[in-house]
Amino acid sequence: MVGQVVIYPLLILILFLLKQTSMGQDLSRLEMFRAFFCKHGTTKNEEAANAIVEDEVFLKSILNPTEPVARGWVKSLDPNELVGGTEIGPKWCEVNVQVPIKIDEKMVRPYGLFSTIQDCIGASIAWPYPFISVVRED
């Protein structure tokens, strides 16, 4: 049963990728995120929804959501906030990256000279809600 749970979303992603590449298009990481993790344009993550401004959070990989790629703090949840000249939009947050964990992780929304987690240390980036988790210091 567990194998089926993992294989089904991967099959959907593979079919989507084949369709797009057969049309001569390269997919961005944002398009891959939408294809794999969104249903009708929405996502849900209770923990991320409860995050508040100034919470310390882990940013998780969109390709492997169990893997943290950086640590930072939530700067804004306002969908109208600009990051890299673009509104972050609903279901996204502005995060200030403090500690990279997986330095070569590609940004979901690269901008300017920022294309990997390592590039944006100390800078604000947009990151999708479903891929943050609040740091719990016990």
pLDDT (tens digit per residue) in 27-60? 565 565 555 555 444 444 545 545 578 889 999 9
Mean pLDDT within 64-90: 93
pLDDT at 27: 58
Give every CB contact of residue 116 below 8 A, 6+ residues apart in sequence: 103, 104, 105, 106, 107
Percentage of residues in the chain with pLDDT exceeding 90? Answer: 47
Give the global pTM.
Answer: 0.65
Tokens (6 digits) for 106: 């590609």
Give every CB contact of residue 73 below 8 A, 6+ residues apart in sequence: 54, 55, 56, 57, 95, 96, 98
- What CA–CA distance (Å, rounded) separates 88 from 81? 6
CA dihedral 12, 66, 86, 40 (to 10 degrees): 30
Res. 97 pLDDT band, cuts 50 70 90: very high
pLDDT at 34: 55
